[in-house]
Structure 1
């Protein structure tokens, strides 16, 4: 699509995106964790499967410790899990190993990059609303070459809360100046993304059946369908 291809009488002029499970393939993130632990295990004579199970268990407990919608930093969880895995004395380069391992496996969901670029070319405003650390969000968007397609990035690390807390969506609305009734949220989880967005008056696109429910205005299986919903010619 050319850079000056206009949206055709769009129902929405702003699209809010979740990252994990929508822009980024979740399996690729899990593969990065496994590669990280596998490298550490090989260097330090550990059973990689047992080490990965322990690391994920500690990380999971870290996130479960959150009070309600309070956000727990992912990086702090990585630090805690890696430190406990090594009885308080992790390798000095563990952060670099994690960064390289996760970057090497990271993949976008099918159609995500093309859809983001097409919306951008058509003049549709876009923003991120994601339960993620800020640096991690920026790095992921940069890795796919779409960072400049977004007018605003709202992360749970910045707000201190995670979806469905209304403050997440309200920050994105304030940051973009978007009108709720002309904005649609794309998410893969019904309670967090869809119900949360609907609660502040946004339109909703549920990507995959885990996001489908009574508050879902548009149920899709492929991200390219967003172009039809917004009114952008393919």
Structure 2
């Protein structure tokens, strides 16, 4: 059983009869395009710089723990799938570390610089996205990110121009697995859910959420469960799915 409890009745639709019938491939960002460990490294670098600039007598390890606790509490306060911008959580984390409020226009440029200097894409993801964009497919994003930051990351990895649509939680006002996230993406793309793939690293949010909308969930690092249509170990395997060379998950 995956986290959050799984309804065993939630199962994906049958795949298209022919590979050419696939219409869309949607990607999550964090953990699928963006290597999450590199984000953690960026946060450590930013916090270390923050301590030095504000002359805070704390170790980086202690400050990072405060950062993670404060940001985590901020997100846990939200009502269900209500969207909360990450930048507000970071703002609280910085104040908790420094001991006083730091203006957002002061810390945001340094945070952006630290992130862009450290983040890495998941190996194979940019190349796969580029190859999918050369096909007769809608290539999109469905992600729980602040819109400006998510779009900037895609641009930093050189893949922004390959996406036909980007659906973010900030624009929709909800996070996955709320149906509005998937409905908005499908309506924007003008594609059928049963002919669409959703690649995600979280079972309940990405895979099960997609299956409940009649889409095919592709588990990349996500737990197993009845909603999984396909399981991949690398982004490149998505190409085999749309080419009809991969069997569905058992």
Runs (5+) with no aligned partner, structure 1: 1-7
CA contact (8 A) 2:51 2:98 kept: no
TM-superposed deviation, 1:51: 1.1
Query: Is residue 113 from structure 1 mapped to residue 123 from structure 2 by the alignment?
Result: no
Could you tell me how far apart the structure 1 residues matched to 2:19 and 2:49 are? 52
Query: How many residues are paired up?
Result: 225
Distance 2:244 2:33 in 1: 19
Please say if 1:25 is aligned against 2:38: no
Displacement of 1:232: 8.1
Match of 2:9 in 1: none
Tell me which residue corresponds to 2:199: 186
In 2, the alpha carbon distance for the partners of 1:90 and 1:232 equals 53
In 2, distance between residues paired with 1:163 and 1:9? 27
Q: Which residue of 2 aligns with 1:228?
A: 240
> Superposition RMSD on alpha carbons, in Å?
1.6
Tell me by how many angstroms 1:13 deviates.
2.0
Distance 1:78 1:65 in 2: 14
1:26-175 aligned at under 5 Å gives the runs 26-43=36-53, 44-46=55-57, 47-90=59-102, 93-175=106-188
Partner of 2:218: 205
Distance across 1 between alignment mates of 2:19 and 2:194: 15
Q: Give TM-score, length-normalised by structure 2.
A: 0.86
Matched with 1:3 is none
Unaligned runs of 5+ in 2: 1-17, 246-250
Q: Deviations over 1:21-42 (max 9, x none)?
A: 0000000111110000011112
Q: Distance in 2 between matches of 1:212 and 1:226?
A: 17
CA contact (8 A) 1:13 1:230 kept: no
Does the aligned pair in 1 maintain the 2:198–2:210 contact within 8 Å?
yes
Q: Is the 8 A contact 2:139 2:163 kept in 1?
A: yes
Tell me the SS of whatever aligns to 1:101.
helix
Q: Is this contact kept in 2: 1:122–1:232, CA < 8 A?
A: no
TM-fit CA distance, 1:11: 4.6
Q: 1:82 to 1:40 in 2, by over 3 A?
A: same
Cα deviation 1:103-159 (Å, max 9, x = unaligned):
111100011001000000123211110011000110011001111111111111111
